[in-house]
Structure 1
Amino acid sequence: MTKHTIETVTFKLNDSMSGDEFAKAAEAITDFAQKQDGFVARHLSCSDDGLWVEHVEWETLEAAQAAASKIGSEPALETCMKAIDGRSVVLHHTTLEISVN
């Protein structure tokens, strides 16, 4: 098995958008990610207390970093980016060890 990189981001939203509105708007992030070299998969979930967890699988750490360097300047993602409480964002890159579908 190829050891892909998993990008895990946790965050909360500002009060400017509901969770349902954010989930719909966040489809733009999927569209963006799918166009990036090295993209494999994306999962977005939310806990009952409003903590969002995003897992993005990339072929390499370099692919994840390249996509991250573009995300802030992508006009189609402006609505999503403004809805996220920047102080709450925590980002981790890990190496995928086991994957079962």
Structure 2
Amino acid sequence: MQSRILESVTFSLLPGTDEAAFVRAANDASTALKAMSGFIGRRLGKAEDGNWIDVCEWADEASAKKAAETFHTIPAAQPFCSMIDMASARMAHHAIAHSS
């Protein structure tokens, strides 16, 4: 049986980015994610130090990896991606071992 996958991406925003506009862009990008095969859910958070985390749950590793490869090319996701300092971005995929 394949495990569900948590995908986490930590990052900083580009200097001067309006955070309210970024959150609106994240909401718009969620429309693209919801249409992707295997998508289950998403959470976006900001730490006190200004760093962000975007966590998505996927049905399986193949769905997560395909989304990671193509998300930035989808027109609805491009405004969201354009506000991220890509040099700061770190992505990881984790098999879910427990959920409650």
Judge same fold: TM > 0.5, yes or no.
yes
What does residue 3 of structure 1 align with?
3
SS class of match (2:40) = strand
1:12-44 CA-to-partner distances (Å, cap 9, x unmatched) read: 000242222211111122111110110111111
CA positional deviation for 1:97: 1.2
What does residue 47 of structure 2 align with?
47
CA distance in 2, matches of 1:31, 1:16: 25
CA distance in 2, matches of 1:27, 1:55: 13
CA distance in 1, matches of 2:18, 2:99: 32
Mapping for residues 1-40 of structure 1, pairs under 5 Å: 3-40=3-40
Q: Which amino acid aligns with 2:58?
A: W
Give structure 1 regions of 4+ aligned residues with deviation exceeding 2 angstroms.
none
Alpha carbons 1:4, 1:60 under 8 Å: kept: yes
Alpha carbons 2:7, 2:56 under 8 Å: kept: yes
What does residue 83 of structure 1 align with?
83
TM-score (norm 1): 0.90
Aligned length: 100
CA positional deviation for 1:54: 1.0
Give the share of equivalent positions with the same residue, in percent: 27
Q: Which amino acid aligns with 1:94?
A: H
SS class of match (1:49) = coil
Q: Which runs of 5+ in 2 are unaligned?
A: none
TM-score (norm 2): 0.91
Q: Which runs of 5+ in 1 are unaligned?
A: none
